[in-house]
Amino acid sequence: MTIRDFFLNVGTFILPRTPAGALKAFEGGFAPIEAFIYKSTSSKPIDEQPYDLDEIERILSRPNLDFKTNVVLMGIFEKLIHHEDQELALFGAESINVIENRYNTKISSLKKQGTEAASPLQRLSDLGRLYFELALLNNKRQAIKEFYIDQSLHYFQELLRLRTLTGSERNTYIRALMEVRDYKTASELLRGKKAPKTPEDILLLAEIEYSQKKFDRASELISHLIRHMDTLNEREMALYAYWMGA
């Protein structure tokens, strides 16, 4: 289990089994990124083999897929490109291109706007996020991934010079820093001058410590979640239970 797997996917075992439950999990933001995408009339997960190519194609045809859906689809297509059936391999390769081209189109559009964009600061934020998502989607292509991470860091650093990052921007920026193992900056950005107080911040700092193999420190941080038991979401509760052996 990788570090990211541990912190993002540990709640898989309590993922709701019904389509409605899975949808709520996605909307709530605590479903793991490999979580199941269900058909509206079926509980069969989209990434279950043998693949339902018609359903996969139907989902891919939607122009504005969210990141989590793209991650699941990319996982499928990465497997298909190695399939012995050349048509399936070609379908996988073409589908990867579809997803990446959508990102590149959005990025190109934002870059063309330049400083004349209606919302220049939002433009920087969007570029930082899109490049980070592209990096994770190219997790198996190290050189490409590193390029996208560098671009993401560049735009978030530009934004940080102009204003304070929002919570979601800060968290994405921290994860980009972790990808290049800049744990010192990531930790300082998260802590500021105070210890983290929200469950989200506690878990993110614990992940930073875990990434550096500081397991005792990570465990200590996660133990602090007991102060927030009434407000923990399902993913946070699962992480607490997993780590503390509850």
Over residues 52-111, the pLDDT tens digits come to 899 999 999 998 999 989 999 999 999 999 999 999 999 999 999 999 999 999 999 999
pLDDT value of position 186: 93
Q: How far apart are CA 239 and CA 235, in angstroms?
A: 6
In this structure, the answer to whether residues 201 and 233 fall within a common structural domain is: yes
Q: With beta carbons less than 8 A apart as the criterion, state whether 120 and 89 touch.
A: no
Number of domain units in the chain: 4
pLDDT value of position 242: 75
| Residue 187 one-letter amino acid | S
In this structure, the answer to whether residues 103 and 53 fall within a common structural domain is: yes
Helices (H), 114-214: 120-137, 142-162, 167-179, 183-191, 199-211
Low-confidence ranges of the chain (pLDDT < 50): 1-4, 6-43
In this structure, the answer to whether residues 38 and 49 fall within a common structural domain is: no
**Positive or negative: CA dihedral 187, 154, 100, 89:** negative
Residue at a domain's end among 97, 113, 129:
113
In this structure, the answer to whether residues 58 and 92 fall within a common structural domain is: yes
Residue at a domain's end among 161, 180, 199:
180
In this structure, the answer to whether residues 101 and 144 fall within a common structural domain is: no
In this structure, the answer to whether residues 96 and 130 fall within a common structural domain is: no
Residue at a domain's end among 113, 134, 168:
113
Domain that holds residue 29: 1-42
132-144 residue pLDDT tens: 999 999 998 999 9
